[in-house]
Amino acid sequence: MSDQATLAEVLTVEHHAIDAGIEKFVAASPGGPIGEWSAPLVQAMAALRRHIYLEEELVFPSLRNGPLMMPIMVMLNEHGEMWRRMAALDEQLAADGVDQEPLRSEVAAACTEMLGLLADHNSKEEPVIYPHLDSDMDDDSRAFLRDFLDDGTTPDGWECARAAA
Ligand SMILES: [Fe+2]
Ligand SMILES: [Fe+2]
């Protein structure tokens, strides 16, 4: 991603990449090692966890003391729901026979529900929150976020604010 891209554009691209990874998994037929089949989903969930981390730790704190307080509360609640669904998906993927019926259809259905949650979340976050990234975050916060986007990783053991229902 070039430096020309706005932060709003970069985070929107992340949304699309995460969706695409989950969609690829849903569309794929199992075959070969289980790890190869599940890789797009595992990678998409790692990307989503990192995305939620950077929003909650590097973006929202800069924006929540203003008119975005309530929308950010909604975003935090939805992140919590996604976080719990990802934990459930991890369990499903670890089960024996997940690449065979009926478990395969169950994990695909859970992924389709996840895609619905993401679509609903992103359809609010992109127009309501993201326009403020490039205009309302201070220079240091924006620079820190750009550095993190390059090569930052979710800290071990980090959980989103509303991981517990
Ligand atoms: Fe979000
Ligand atoms: Fe997001």
pLDDT at 65: 84
CA of 134 to the centre of ligand 2 (A): 14
Q: What average pLDDT does this structure show over 49-76?
A: 95
Ion ligand 1: residue ranges with CB closer than 5 A: 55, 75, 125
pLDDT recorded at residue 3: 56
Domain ranges, ordered by start, for the chain: 7-151
Distance 35 CA to ligand 2 centre (A): 27
What's the gap in Å between 119 CA and the centre of ligand 2?
10
Residue 75 and residue 60: Cα distance in Å, rounded? 10
Q: Ligand 2 centre and the CA of 79: distance in Å? A: 9
Q: How far is CA 129 from CA 21, 45, 77, in A?
A: 24, 22, 15
Residues with CB under 5 A from ligand 2 (ion): 125
pTM of the model: 0.95
- Report pLDDT digits (tens) over 117-140: 999 999 999 999 999 999 999 999
Q: What is the mean pLDDT of residues 30-55?
A: 94
Give the CA distances from residue 100 to residues 31, 53, 85, 97, 143, in Å, rounded to whole numbers and listed in that order.
Answer: 10, 33, 21, 5, 46
The amino acid at 156: D
Q: Find the mean pLDDT for residues 19-41.
A: 93
What's the average model confidence in pLDDT over 65-80? Answer: 95
Tokens 């790692």 locate to 46
Q: 97 CA to middle of ligand 2, Å?
A: 33
- Superfamily of domain 7-151, CATH level 4: nmb1532 protein domain like (1.20.120.520)
The answer to whether 63 and 1 are in contact (CB under 8 A) is: no
Among 119, 164, 116, 149, smallest CA distance to 50 is for 149
Residue 150 predicted with pLDDT over 70: yes
